[in-house]
Amino acid sequence: MAEDRFPGWHGTTILAVRRGGEVVVAGDGQVSLGQTVIKGTARKVRRLSPGGQEVVAGFAGSTADAFTLLERLEKKLESAPGQLARACVELAKDWRMDKYLRNLEAMLIVTDGETLLVITGAGDVLEPEHDVTAIGSGGNFALAAARGLMATELPAEEIARTAMAIAADICVYTNGNLTVERISK
């Protein structure tokens, strides 16, 4: 898919941690083309407020595709206020069935402070186990670090920041320039 049209594009690590009544979503700022970092300050975690409802979303993949999906998600949330899971399932259905949306290449992590979900173009709406989830090039590194840190008493933000630092030390497509958003219910 994207590798055919844009070979070598890499970057993004998005991590979400739920603990103590809050969810923290952290994203790095790196975008790479092959062996070159073309941007180190990208902002891939955003706060949305459709219909006054606070939602935090992080994305991996094509930025234009992700923004298209975030706009669609906002419309779904306006149609179903306070029902994040329902809005995400409706978005995933559209994404899977619509000829235009089907070609979008991105993944999303979304939360309203209570519900935490990963949405994919394959039609998946996944609620993570262990109150931690991650996407992107360095997602597995950040996920493993955060899962290990969940055994400690650290607060959600400290787990997210430490896990992202570990991922940045291991993954060449992840940097330490973080955007961090907290949300609680």
Stated as kind and residue range, the H or E segment containing 159 is helix 156-170
Q: What is the CA radius of gyration of the chain?
A: 15
86 close to 80: Cβ distance less than 8 angstroms: yes
Query: Which residue in the list 12, 13, 111, 174 is annotated as catalytic?
Result: 12
65 close to 47: Cβ distance less than 8 angstroms: no
3-state secondary structure of 56: strand
Q: What is the pLDDT of residue 151?
A: 98
Is 152 considered catalytic here? no
Name the pTM for this structure.
0.92
Tell me the mean pLDDT per 10 residues along the chain, length 185. 49 93 96 86 92 90 86 92 93 83 85 95 90 95 98 98 97 95 94
Bridge partners (DSSP) of residue 27 are: 14, 179
